[in-house]
Structure 1
């Protein structure tokens, strides 16, 4: 029998008198001070998950995948703990700088980095740029040459591995928009191209096969193919690649009963079996941020089996995009009423604005109650939009009975400020 997820709440979560407490702070007090919808990040939980990756790979590099969730305060946590950071846009680069991450510990991804973004990265002294196209190699080489530096690069290789995840988050197949195809010979051409540019230093090779992967077989196959490619590069060019970045993608459980994913230690051990003595880097994001955060909503209306809350599609697009599953729980009071199945929906003018389907909640649920949705830290607030001109929620960090906003709530004034 396969092991499954049993508890999806952060490590410090507890219940008292029917109220959910996170980091020693009750959700009623949090909602009263910061409003709803609200993202509550358990700082201790987040940091413990970071440390589990560092413990799993003490002789390698752990680059937190910033696209999962990023703000300057999170950058400060990462820097203090000793993690590096993976960014993929100029905006994420700016957040890295604002949070004080040393530039040599930042890796810059992306399949279409603009010349302006590349220039800012090189001028800042970024540790490594992951090149993704021949155009980018030429573009970056020219910028580095103009600035009089030798820029470290990794080449993103597409190893042709199907990670058995949602098509929208599978990135390692031959039809991917990312990287240089291994099977088509483009990866070896990219190596030759980089080696021919005096202003570039081939720092290592990179691959990333996808996201929300719940087994090690796909990772091991990608690692084996990349290790074979390292040997092929040395045979053809006489250049010894010593560094291999195998990306992120480790999945998490979202609801009780989901398959139990490998631990960081189990995944790293599987990768090391395939890669020998190469210096390894990994890029966890979802597995750190996801389980550490709970979304809090207030019930607004109840109409038949529909329970409408004050957020939805604009702060969590994952159910609409990926058919993602979540649970929610009454978090502000105790109830002795029996459960009845409901569908929790958002406030947006879309029939697809659904957060949780067929969820048993107390039959006496009423407007003003608070619902808590666990495992809400990855690709929710970071993908939030202003659809229907709804301001984006605040993010509050809790720890040891204290709370502080690390991302303030947007206001209507913020939205109107963009208009001329």
Structure 2
């Protein structure tokens, strides 16, 4: 029998009623028993994962907080800190339903219509925070997602393609209007602890494996259909389409010249570059300090520069590629990524003609990843309008879903 799909409004109400408490030794022991039992008691896993644990301390920047890197880090740390937002907790619960189950068990897709990338990334951080809380140390963190597949994954190492075995959980299916996308979250084999504890959110979007073969060609085709590759209408409209996706998961305005297959691939590419890349690094705000780079800020600025014609599409994913297929595994090339983030900042200052501040970083995140819907909800919650908040969220999602479906048909 298929598990009951999550009801958004009931999930939000349930979250609001929960009592926050510390993660205890008993919680960690229960988590260990689940893993030691073969990761088959999915109901127990979901119950442990969905408890409302007291917040973990967000790490301060290790360095000059007023440096450009320090401000990028602080902005990303604070912008995606929505752990008390009921809609974010409900979203995290839905994702948990997809992850902790038998791989053949049916479950309704997670509906992203009307939700912003900010909410999706915040939900991913909440989940990674829970994994960290359930670990006994930074070297003993387990995702505990049941193993559904063990497949070779192709990565580029020193200019050559290399296949690496990767363990992943069941398919997570997401939807917005007519569009569907599936991803698989990386997990551990047997009871080994997670490697790359700062990258607990690593997952793979099905059908998108390479920036050079998949991401860039798909975006180039869309840009050509929108008005051409040279700085101008096509480039600006593509940037606006990417930002629109991040704000509501809508592709309304996608070129009518694109086939249905091209539109589906475009949705998958947007899903990867606008939220999955950012989501995978959220554990770095709780463990370690080496990846305090503020990558999502740098990428937001790249998109703004791209919209203004200051960089090309190839620049976004190559010369300045914060998210890309790097020449070495990303965990081994932190300095390369940091230098690219710094280079983006220098170009941004040159283009804007003013020095960067923390507020600039927050504004850039809000412009690209969404924020208006969440801010309105936060204001209403402060006024005690819990029920109207829930209705506001549902209305946003339903209206956006209808708009996306009608415009894409």
Normalised TM-score (structure 2): 0.25
Larger radius of gyration: 1
Normalised TM-score (structure 1): 0.24
- Greater per-residue strand proportion: 1
- Greater per-residue helix proportion: 2
